[in-house]
Amino acid sequence: MAENTEPRIGVFVCHCGTNIAGSMSIDDVVNYAKTLPYVAVADQYQYMCSTPGQKKIDDAIKEYNLTGVVVAACSPRLHEPTFRTATKEGGLNPFRFEMANIREQNSWVHMHGMWDEATQKAKDQVRMAVAKAAKLEDLVPKSVPVEKTAMVVGGGVAGMQAALDLASAGIKTYLIERTPTIGGRMSQLDKTFPTLDCSQCILTPKMVDVGRHPNIEMMTYTEVEKVEGYIGNFDVTLRKKARGVLTPTEATAKGIVGGGCNGCGDCSAVCPVIKPNPFEMGMAPRKAIYIYHAQVMPLIYTVDFDSCVKCGLCVEACGDKKAIDLEMQDEFITVKVGTAVLATGYELFPIENKREWGYKQFDNVINALEFERLICASGPTGGHLVRPSDGKTPMKVGFVLCAGSRDNTGIGKPYCSRFCCMYSLKHAHQIMEKIPGAVAYLFYMDIRSFGKMYEEFYYRIQHEGAKFIRGRVANVLEDKETKNLHVFTEDTLLGRPVDVEVDLLVLAAAVQPNEGANELRKKFGVSASQDGWMLEAHPKLNPCGTTTAGVFLAGVCQGPKDIPDTVAQAEGAASAASIPIHMGEVELEPYFAMCIDELCAGCGMCVNLCPYSALSLGEKNGRTVMVVTEAKCKGCGTCGGFCPGGAIKMQHFTTPQIVAQIDAFFAGGEQ
């Protein structure tokens, strides 16, 4: 639009069915819009986001020679891209579009008996949007090249699936896992619901596929130290923790022909140091040089330097392989990737914080993962379920569901952990299947069997004879002589208190973000929900994306979910992460800050305030001024709001545009 051309604005008001039209007079809003300065046309439609609704915009731009478009409808987060595309198809620069949110910010909060007030508020919103639209400028998106590599952080089932999908799409993928082996929590499980498949039977082939894939560089016992850059060009510094053991490849690089660890275990056999094995939930020992379990990938031993006494027996046992280096140090390497997928999983809520259930007070109160290891054929008891106190077979086993979940006391977690009900049903089945005559008691408030074949599995367990007692467990006490447990609750269906004596009590503990996940998400610039889980860009329309372009989420790090949903999200995240890489470049919305060099004093205040690390100081024409890394800038306006010299211009949110909106608010209409 030429500088001296008078603005011609088109206003389009959406009914959104009755979401908007049920709370205000659309006719009044449209008729009011027609009276506003610069408005050349005002119209309405049931659903502006539909094809006919968008065609109205296209046709009006051409018929009325519009210079700007305003749509009064829902949130820009939902349909701004839709209407921007319609504006572009009509022949206008897509950034000459402004949206008035008269649904989330108006009709939905004024839907009960506030017809006139909501109508007036919508008029105010439209008036302000028109005032800004009249001052909008043509903006041009910028493109940045994308590195042809990806990174997946987390080696559980989500991380493995994402890495395999990316690698199978021809993309070099770094798979980063902080423990010595991939596999994650799923490798600790005995069976999976509702099919009762052996967990390792499903998982181990996938672990092997990851290890063999030519496009996957698997880096276990490695952590993300630092992240710099932006979508397409992330520089990720990794800390390869000192493993104390050389792989065959590393040994060859050091000139040790035929050397390196082959997983024989001779070193561990002679190690004198015994420590609890965290993979077995501390219920079995391991040595200071160890592997977690027989199916580890890679099959390389690891030295726990915190407990190693460096006696040298392992070095002697290793012999000519010369695989053990007790002087090994952490190594830092930097890799460049185009996109990243975070799949850091979960850990159990420390259920000992709920003192009333006796965890870590009474020997025979265990959590669900401890139960999994006890009943698993590869576990510390070879799959024979025994009581920790005396090694006897339990005949009466209780399961406390929602142990720490759906808890509003401030101690537990307020959310549902989603898969606890189903694995508790699975555990009840396993008890009754493996121990003839055993009884399973499930203490619950609600059973949430939401997935495919889950309800049928629930009915199956009922028919197998499991005892369901609806009520919150108030207290658990131990019989000092028998070590049996008395579970005190109220049966809400019968309306009476209940005391159930059991041999073993299993707590279906809540899940929470994995240790280190909070620091990791900060390094990648990812926000967190109020519950601490990594926050998706949009819960419905972009559940795999994040506020940091190029960084995606997979699995339970984003929130509790079962294995099928975890794998599905991992596939979605991998697909989303592959798109920029295959395109070769990404287009950036031009909503970034711009420095007005002649006004900039080079004080650096904005650099320290920027939440996205997008600003720096640089030399230009002999002066120190602010420099914007446009690919990292999100246009949040923090820098512009704090700049003491007014030297920062926010594109699409310039001072004249914002002032015009403020003036329009106070300029007219009923207040």
Q: What is the pLDDT of residues 107-162, one digit of tens each?
A: 999 988 899 999 999 999 999 999 999 999 999 999 999 999 999 999 999 999 99
* pLDDT reported for residue 111: 87
Q: What is the CATH number of the domain that holds 268?
A: 3.30.70
pLDDT(579) > 80: yes
- Are 433 and 357 members of one domain? yes
pLDDT(612) > 90: no
Residue 408 counted as domain residue: yes
pLDDT(543) > 90: yes
Nearest to 484 by CA among 505, 509, 507: 505
Amino acid identity, residue 396?
Answer: K
On whether 416 is known to bind a ligand per the annotation, the reply is yes
Per-residue pLDDT tens over the stretch 53-108: 999 999 999 999 999 999 999 999 889 999 999 999 999 999 999 999 999 999 99
On whether 444 is known to bind a ligand per the annotation, the reply is no
Domain boundary pick from 266, 301, 329 = 329
> Can you give the three-state secondary structure of 349-409, one letter per residue?
CCHHHCHHHCCCCCCCEEEHHHHHHHHCCCCCCCCCCCCCCCCCCCCEEEEEEEECCCCCC
Residue 664 counted as domain residue: no
- Are 216 and 261 members of one domain? no
Rounded mean pLDDT of 599-627? 93
On whether 264 is known to bind a ligand per the annotation, the reply is yes
On whether 185 is known to bind a ligand per the annotation, the reply is yes
* pLDDT reported for residue 634: 87
- Are 384 and 482 members of one domain? yes
* Alpha-carbon span 233 to 146, nearest angstrom: 6
On whether 595 is known to bind a ligand per the annotation, the reply is no
Residue 563 counted as domain residue: yes
Residue 1 counted as domain residue: no
* pLDDT reported for residue 541: 85
* pLDDT reported for residue 667: 85
Residue 671 counted as domain residue: no
* pLDDT reported for residue 113: 87
* pLDDT reported for residue 39: 98
- Are 131 and 171 members of one domain? no
H/E segment holding residue 662:
helix 655-667
pLDDT(457) > 90: yes
On whether 639 is known to bind a ligand per the annotation, the reply is yes
Confidence class for position 632, pLDDT limits 50, 70, 90? confident
Q: Are 146 and 580 spatial neighbours (Cβ–Cβ below 8 Å)?
A: yes
Rounded mean pLDDT of the chain? 96
On whether 201 is known to bind a ligand per the annotation, the reply is no
* DSSP secondary structure letters along 329-350: --EEEEEEESEEEE---EEE--
On whether 311 is known to bind a ligand per the annotation, the reply is yes
* pLDDT reported for residue 4: 55
How many angstroms separate the Cα of 82 from the Cα of each of 1, 54, 71, 86?
Answer: 22, 8, 11, 6
- Are 171 and 118 members of one domain? no
* pLDDT reported for residue 47: 98
pLDDT(671) > 60: no
pLDDT(468) > 90: yes
Q: By mean pLDDT, which of 216-220, 389-393, 588-592, 624-628 is the weakest?
A: 588-592
Domain boundary pick from 468, 490, 512 = 512
Domain boundary pick from 139, 172, 199 = 139
Per-residue pLDDT tens over the stretch 368-405: 999 999 999 999 999 999 999 999 999 999 999 999 99
Q: By mean pLDDT, which of 35-39, 474-478, 564-568, 641-645 is the weakest?
A: 641-645
Nearest to 369 by CA among 531, 195, 197, 186: 186
Q: What is the CATH number of the domain that holds 117?
A: 3.40.50
On whether 157 is known to bind a ligand per the annotation, the reply is yes
On whether 426 is known to bind a ligand per the annotation, the reply is yes
On whether 74 is known to bind a ligand per the annotation, the reply is yes
* pLDDT reported for residue 192: 98
- Are 116 and 228 members of one domain? no
- Are 317 and 283 members of one domain? yes
* Alpha-carbon span 612 to 371, nearest angstrom: 44
On whether 557 is known to bind a ligand per the annotation, the reply is no
- Are 47 and 135 members of one domain? yes
- Are 353 and 467 members of one domain? yes
- Are 409 and 534 members of one domain? no
Per-residue pLDDT tens over the stretch 247-297: 999 999 999 988 999 999 999 999 999 999 999 999 999 999 999 999 999
Which region, left, alpha or beta, applies to residue 280 given φ > 0 means left and ψ of -120 to 50 means alpha? alpha
pLDDT(606) > 50: yes
* Alpha-carbon span 514 to 159, nearest angstrom: 14
* Alpha-carbon span 629 to 671, nearest angstrom: 42
On whether 198 is known to bind a ligand per the annotation, the reply is no
Q: What is the CATH number of the domain that holds 644?
A: 3.30.70.20
On whether 544 is known to bind a ligand per the annotation, the reply is no
H/E segment holding residue 625:
strand 623-628
Residue 666 counted as domain residue: no
On whether 376 is known to bind a ligand per the annotation, the reply is no
On whether 540 is known to bind a ligand per the annotation, the reply is yes
- Are 496 and 448 members of one domain? yes
Q: Are 296 and 180 spatial neighbours (Cβ–Cβ below 8 Å)?
A: yes
Residue 4 counted as domain residue: no
Rounded mean pLDDT of 429-439? 97
* pLDDT reported for residue 1: 45
Rounded mean pLDDT of 479-486? 97
Give me the number of domains the chain comprises: 5
H/E segment holding residue 128:
helix 115-133
* pLDDT reported for residue 112: 86
* pLDDT reported for residue 147: 98
Residue 406's domain spans which residues? 348-512
pLDDT(670) > 60: no
Rounded mean pLDDT of 501-530? 96
Residue 387 counted as domain residue: yes
Rounded mean pLDDT of 652-670? 87
Q: What is the CATH number of the domain that holds 501?
A: 3.50.50.60
H/E segment holding residue 89:
helix 76-89
- Are 497 and 428 members of one domain? yes
Task: Give me the percent of the chain exceeding a pLDDT of 70.
Answer: 99
Nearest to 210 by CA among 182, 239, 243: 182
On whether 509 is known to bind a ligand per the annotation, the reply is no
